[in-house]
Amino acid sequence: MSNYSPLSVSEDESNTKAPSRQINNRGNLRRLLLTLVFFTLAIVTLWNIVPGLFLNVKNFDENTLAPPMDLNTPSRGKVIAGYFVSWGIYARAFTVSDLDPSKLSHILYAFAEPNADGTVILKDPWADTDKHFDGDSWNDSGNNLYGNFKQLGLLKKKNRHLKVSLSIGGWTLSKNFPAMAAHKASRHKFVESSIALLNDLGLDGLDIDWEYPENNKDAHNYVTLLQELRQGLDEYASSKRETNRYLLTAAVPAGESKYRILDLNGMSRYLDHFYLMAYDFCGSWSDAAGHQANLYAGDLNIDMAVRHYIEHGVSAHKIVVGMPMYGRAFRNTSGVGGAFNGVGEGTWEEGVYDYKKLPPEHADEIVDHVAVAAYSYNSKNKEFISYDNPHVIARKAQYIVAMGLGGGMFWELSADHPTDNERSLLRTVYNELHGVTELDRTPNHISFPNSKYDNVKAGFE
């Protein structure tokens, strides 16, 4: 029987100063155990807080460390971008007033043309800078900006999250890129000329749409051009004492034969966003009918392109997935993989239909859940049309979030339904992204005191 009894809280101090040998032994053991517990906790805490503290520095691979934070890293909010085409104001009757700025973070204005000597010119001055829209006065004094760019400037002023970039090049206007990019003098002129347009028009960035570099020399010169453009934009911002970055982006291919030529790691040093043109996988040039913008499956797909870009040095958050607002048609075919004869009338050009016209009357709309692609098929005239519908756009938005990509882009905005229509693709991607993540709300630029246009200088007051 033990002579030990626990001390009660009411015992006086003399009892606590004369414990038995058994109390001493147990107390020492308790203190030792507590010391070991606290020491272990301290080691674990330090390991989590300073993981490199206990590593052998000589044998440590620095590549396992997270890269240092780049203070110029673009906003991690998701991008929702759309191309606005200058010619949309004609037969399409689509103007800036038809845009829904609440569901867009970036507008890309198509297109300006690069000349071989490096000068950059607007292709349609009447639409771009001269046309008077409703509300424009004919009696303003001074040299003033009108046309689409004035309307975009007014839209930016009311929606400070909305950034507008000038897109230079495009499929029909890229022929001068190789010669221009190959020479220092013409590159210098390109940088000077494009930034002058940005300044005069009151824009937020430049979007390079070189379709396409054809060899390693082009790829090298492309990186050099982007480096000099990035430097020029940063110097321009510094001259205005602005810390808000001017954007430099590029429309880039999703076709393997094209993207394998590019120096993606080199380009990534200077670009804020890669607008991946993830469409036109099939068309009138193809041997068989097929999906034109499938997420998976097939010889070409979006996922394969995205993974290539990431594996070759492009940060996932810089990749913005392009999605078509049009369908590509194939006539006299059984469908995916089948031979075809003809491509149909189209909306504005043969074989290409505005999304808002799809599916055609008497055609069934079908979703390929394996490829994540939609199409319509008319069994009477055997017309197959490949396009994205709201279900596919929702799946692509979910993919963007899951992969940590930068956002989504559309070519082009005039072909969508208004955003009050539940079939609107812009509405769909906005609802999907807005519901699970933050959208890009970085501010635009509205101060251009050195513009050649008086109303731009005055901030459209």
CATH code for the domain defined by 79-325+391-434: 3.20.20.80
- For 354-390, the pLDDT digits (tens) are 999 999 999 999 999 999 999 999 999 999 999 999 9
Give me the pLDDT at residue 66, please. 29
**Active-site position among 113, 211, 228, 365:** 211
The DSSP string of 414-432 is GGSPPTTSTT-HHHHHHHH
- For 205-233, the pLDDT digits (tens) are 999 999 999 999 999 999 999 999 999 99
More confident residue, 72 or 335: 335
Confidence category of residue 32, pLDDT binned at 50, 70, 90: low
Give me the pLDDT at residue 49, please. 36
CA dist 451 and 457 (Å) reads 6
Which helix (H) or strand (E) segment is 217 a member of? helix 216-239
- pTM of the predicted model as reported, rounded to 2 decimal places: 0.84
CA dist 306 and 424 (Å) reads 25
- For 298-328, the pLDDT digits (tens) are 999 999 999 999 999 999 999 999 999 999 9
Whether residue 133 has pLDDT greater than 80: yes
Whether residue 59 has pLDDT greater than 60: no
Q: At what angle do helices 390-403 and 425-434 cross, to 10 degrees?
A: 30
Give me the pLDDT at residue 36, please. 52
Check residue 66 and report its DSSP letter.
P
CA distances from 254 to 81, 257, 267, 405, 444 (A): 17, 9, 15, 15, 29
For the chain, percent of residues with pLDDT exceeding 90: 82
Q: Is the separation of the CB atoms in 160 and 104 below 8 Å?
A: no
Assign residue 313 a region: left if phi > 0, alpha if psi is -120 to 50, beta otherwise?
A: left
CA distances from 342 to 235, 345, 386 (A): 52, 9, 14
Confidence category of residue 100, pLDDT binned at 50, 70, 90: very high
Whether residue 48 has pLDDT greater than 60: no
Check residue 265 and report its DSSP letter.
H
Confidence category of residue 15, pLDDT binned at 50, 70, 90: very low
Partner residues linked to 84 by β-bridges: 109
Tell me whether residue 62 is one of the annotated catalytic residues. Answer: no
Structure tokens belonging to residue 328:
């590509």
Give me the pLDDT at residue 56, please. 30
What is the rounded average pLDDT for all residues in the chain? 88
Domain boundaries, the chain: 24-56, 79-325+391-434
